[in-house]
Amino acid sequence: GAGVSQSPSNKVTEKGKDVELRCDPISGHTALYWYRQSLGQGLEFLIYFQGNSAPDKSGLPSDRFSAERTGGSVSTLTIQRTQQEDSAVYLCASSRYGQDDGYTFGSGTRLTVV
């Protein structure tokens, strides 16, 4: 596609429920990244995919968070048993691995846990 697409754009969920956030990167971009931006905070790295593998998942805050990528394309970030502190904007970005063109970000998913 022309840009990085994220869905849903907004998600309100009850504490304790599971949520899935989706990211569709730019076609041909082999690298995909998830970041989190909490209210008033900076961007926090969560996980990086190269193809379908995740060589760096050091930013996942707990074992309630997991992510997968299939077909070297779409990625899903899953948060189990959501907590109020999970409320944030979740941003996805993609880039062409090894190229010098930087990251392209999606518009994000605003998650609110009530």
Partner 1 sequence: KQEVTQIPAALSVPEGENLVLNCSFTDSAIYNLQWFRQDPGKGLTSLLLIQSSQREQTSGRLNASLDKSSGRSTLYIAASQPGDSATYLCAVRPAAAGNKLTFGGGTRVLVKP
Separation between Cα atoms, residue 94 and residue 50, nearest integer Å: 10
DSSP 63: T
Sites for partner 1 among residues 61-90 (CB under 8 A): none
Least Å distance, CB 85 to partner 1, is 19
Measure the CA–CA gap between 106 and 99, rounded to whole angstroms: 19
101 within 8 A of 11, measured Cβ to Cβ: no
To partner 1, the closest distance from the beta carbon of 91 in angstroms equals: 6
Q: What is the CA radius of gyration of the chain?
A: 13
> With respect to partner 1, which residue has the nearer C-beta, 71 or 102?
102
Candidate list 38, 105, 113, 114; residue touching partner 1; CB under 8 A? 105
How many of the chain's residues bind partner 1 (CB under 8 A)? Answer: 26
HEC profile of 79-92: ECCCCHHHCEEEEE
Q: From residue 13 to residue 52, what is the string marking binding to partner 1 with x (rule CB under 8 A)?
A: ------------------x-x-x------xx-x--x-x--
- Choose between 75 and 95: whose C-beta lies nearer to partner 1: 95
